[in-house]
Structure 1
């Protein structure tokens, strides 16, 4: 792996972590202690077999549909600014988005005064249905897939 790629990768990851922190702070101010848009005036689909496959069993809300779409478009902005697209760039963008969601979600708990490190546990976080090794399963799945995508983005 060339040194320039490693520097670029670390810079990308650093920037993604900063973005995730800021977005977590925004979500904390929007949601407060009621995660997964529990108290927001938005539509919800609580049960559907596709939610079990693609959403970890969590409810789909209007809030999350618009918010996730916005973040996906935001991460794709460089393609339109540079007017350049490639499979490698798309892999880097998708990997960065996955890292963003892992870090943002984790920081939502850690930075949120209503939760903190001690309440980052499945018994306090009902909307994350599946946990392994002390974290939501999504974190591990996204980490593996993002690692593979970053490797493909060379």
Structure 2
């Protein structure tokens, strides 16, 4: 993929994060939304959906359709001129994981009710478990997305996409942290 495409995905992450802020406000993880909820303990199907799509969090109707719709959107190239195969599927999934975590972090960057520097922790963000200054979901996503990307490169023994993905992670992290330093929080 070319860098303009990665820039497009970053801009889309900003747009989706801001749309989600308008929907959720201060109540992260759809806390204040009138939506159905299932805990992973509610049965095998909810446990699987929670682990696969929600990083172990409770399954809400809002997030199931939000994440499902975005994942479907990421598959749009297959309906045009990109050939579907397992290597390309692994690329789509790994990019979606990176994009989802970037979008999640940008939710905190742009949300006037949260601070990234000095206020991004398990106390102010109870729906995330933190390992140091970063939600543990972000660590798992990094490892999982790179693993899936390398798995897609494995049949050709060409780890170009896996290396490229590493640079995307670094670039998105730098861009998101830079935005956090300069976005004003007094929008009223």
Aligned length: 146
Match of 1:140 in 2: 139
Match of 2:114 in 1: 115
Match of 1:150 in 2: 149
Root mean square deviation of aligned Cα: 2.2
Alpha-carbon distance, 1:51 to partner: 6.9
Q: In 2, are the aligned partners of 1:51 and 1:59 still within 8 Å (CA)?
A: no
**Distance in 2 between residues matched to 1:12 and 1:147, nearest whole Å:** 19
Runs of 4+, deviation exceeding 6 Å: none
Question: Which structure is richer in relative contact order (CA contacts within 8 A, separation 6 or more)?
Answer: 1
**Distance in 1 between residues matched to 2:4 and 2:148, nearest whole Å:** 16
What runs of 5+ residues in structure 2 fail to find an aligned partner?
Answer: 154-160, 162-188
Q: In 1, are the aligned partners of 2:50 and 2:58 still within 8 Å (CA)?
A: no
TM-score by length of 2: 0.70
Q: Structure 1 residues 94, 47: CA separation in 2 closer, same or farther (over 3 Å shift)?
A: closer
Q: In 2, are the aligned partners of 1:16 and 1:96 still within 8 Å (CA)?
A: no
Match of 2:27 in 1: 34
Match of 1:5 in 2: none
Q: Structure 1 residues 16, 27: CA separation in 2 closer, same or farther (over 3 Å shift)?
A: same
**Distance in 2 between residues matched to 1:47 and 1:89, nearest whole Å:** 30
Q: Structure 1 residues 63, 53: CA separation in 2 closer, same or farther (over 3 Å shift)?
A: closer
C-alpha deviations, 1:28-49, integer Å up to 9, x for none?
A: 0000111111111110113517
Match of 1:63 in 2: 62
1:24 has 2:17 as partner:
yes
1:79 has 2:78 as partner:
yes
